[in-house]
Amino acid sequence: MLSTMSFMLGAVTLFGEASAGRTSSISQWGDNPSKLPAALVHTPNKIADKPAIILALHPCGVTGQMYSQMTPLNSYADTLRFCRPLPDV
């Protein structure tokens, strides 16, 4: 779990500017012995100087993409300028 979180934090840093205002899928993050599926990372149009990272954990039976569509978290992220990884684990 720690390596997955490290990846997510790195992904937000790497893709923050390139994917501003978008939800991007990231499938290659190095060693993946559990064969976890791709994760989504949403970044706002303008990222705060020291952005918060809000990890959105979806309920069982729901994917990260489904949860993203069910909640207003993308709007909050855009308004408050925080980054949001949505792992599918």
For residue 15, pLDDT over 60 is answered with no
Give Cβ neighbours of residue 69 (< 8 Å, ≥ 6 apart). none
To the nearest whole number, what is the mean pLDDT of the chain?
77
Whole-prediction pTM: 0.63
Q: What is the dihedral of CA 78, 10, 30, 38, to 10 degrees?
A: -10
Other beta carbons less than 10 A from residue 81's beta carbon: 17
Per-residue pLDDT, averaged over 77-89, amounts to: 85
Q: Can you say how many angstroms the Cα of residue 60 is from the centroid of all Cα atoms in its chain?
A: 18
Residue whose C-alpha is closest to residue 43's, from 87, 81, 10? 81
Identify the pLDDT of residue 79.
92
- Token duo for residue 1: 């779990």
Q: Residue 48 — φ and ψ, nearest 5°?
A: -60, 160
Residue that wins the pLDDT comparison between 65 and 8: 65
- Residue 26 binned pLDDT confidence (cut-offs 50, 70, 90): confident
Identify the pLDDT of residue 17.
41
